Structure 1
Amino acid sequence: MTDDDGPRKTGRLMWLLAWVLALVLMTWFFQQKLERDYNPNQQVQLLDSRTIVLEQNRQGHYLMNGAINGDPVVFLLDTGATQVAVPRPVAERLALPLGRPLLLNTAAGQVTGYRTHIKTLSMGPLTLYDLDAVIMPSYGSEVLLGMNALRQFELIQRGSQLTIKHLAP
């Protein structure tokens, strides 16, 4: 064993720590990028107090962060959905009550869902009150924002942007 073995081991350890730190930082950076690509509307763009603008994600969908009864959710705007549709795991997390069962026709065929009620649904500064919704047996994480909510807005799509303006009551 020579006198320079101590500094050599310390140098190797420092290189190892530098590589581990670089890998952790790269993983964090790319995870953030993937999340922004999937939901580019994590911070909603405001035009005024009644109007927001959403960017399409890479798959051509409009997603946005919002809240149901004050708890955070991710909305997927779905003009083909009749009502707001909440996946069962999300409904359980939000403690939404299971109402009467009902047979639903979906793109995947017929499923049994449950009626429920949402006191408040918020999208940035825009809030809707007292909405009927359905709890779906799916295991997704996005709440489908259906036409019972979207009919209260004017929707204008230009290119890859969707402008949502709350209509006056």
Structure 2
Amino acid sequence: MSREANTQRRLGRIMWILAWGLALALLTWYFQQKLVQDHNPNQQVQRLDAQTIVLKQNRQGHYLVSGELNEEPVVFLLDTGASQVAIPQAMAARLHLVAGQPLQLHTAAGAVTGYRTRVKSLSLGPFTLYDLEAVIMPADSSEILLGMNALRQFELIQRGDQMTIRR
């Protein structure tokens, strides 16, 4: 076999390896985006009008929605069983929230110690709430629980796998 044929063969193998690597990278990216979309189908809030938004449930039956807390991007988990907005400790540190008075909290996981804090602004789609009480929770979650002290300011209507929120 000639030297030129060996070089072409080696180049062909390298091209196949690069093509398979590119295909694998594209598939990985696609499925990662699909997982993110399945976890939070409300990354872009669907507005019906200036005072109404519609959220879709994720595969676990929860309502997650992208929003802002103190003008920083966050993900909210709507929780009608929570009395207040609850922020995981790591996220509270990232948002520079001041931990105030400690308090005993009763959660599904048992009693824990949390800390009172205040949120300057909370934005959900076209809605912004100001000066809300919140608690800092010892949790590893990446979502902020949107409790009833925020949700009671809206009309919530659940039908099927959608929730309509109206101000």
Indicate whether the TM-score tops 0.5: yes
TM norm structure 2: 0.98
Amino acid at match of 2:45: V
1:120 matched to 2:121? The reply is yes
Q: How many residues align?
A: 166
> 5+ unaligned residues in a row in structure 1: which ranges?
none
Identity %: 67
Where does residue 69 of structure 1 map in the other structure?
70
Q: Aligned equivalents of 2:155 and 2:57: distance in 1?
A: 17
Q: Which residue of 1 aligns with 2:100?
A: 99
Matches within 5 A, 1:1-169: 2=2, 3-166=4-167
Alignment partners' CA distance in 1, 2:50 and 2:101: 37
- Report the AA paired with residue 96 of structure 2: A
1:123-145 deviation line (CA, Å, top 9, x unaligned): 11110011000000001100000
Distance 1:50 1:67 in 2: 18
1:29 and 1:98 mapped to 2: Cα distance? 40
- Aligned-partner Cα distance in 2 for 1:162–1:67: 19
1-structure distance, mates of 2:5, 2:63: 60
Deviation at 1:17, TM superposition (A): 0.3
What is the SS of the residue equivalent to 1:75? strand
SS in 2 for 1:111: strand
Following superposition, the deviation at residue 50 of structure 1 comes to 1.2
Alpha-carbon distance, 1:51 to partner: 0.8
CA RMSD, 1 decimal:
0.7
Q: In the alignment, residue 101 of structure 1 is paired with which amino acid?
A: P
2-side partners of 1:93 and 1:125: how far apart? Answer: 24
CA distance in 2, matches of 1:87, 1:52: 26
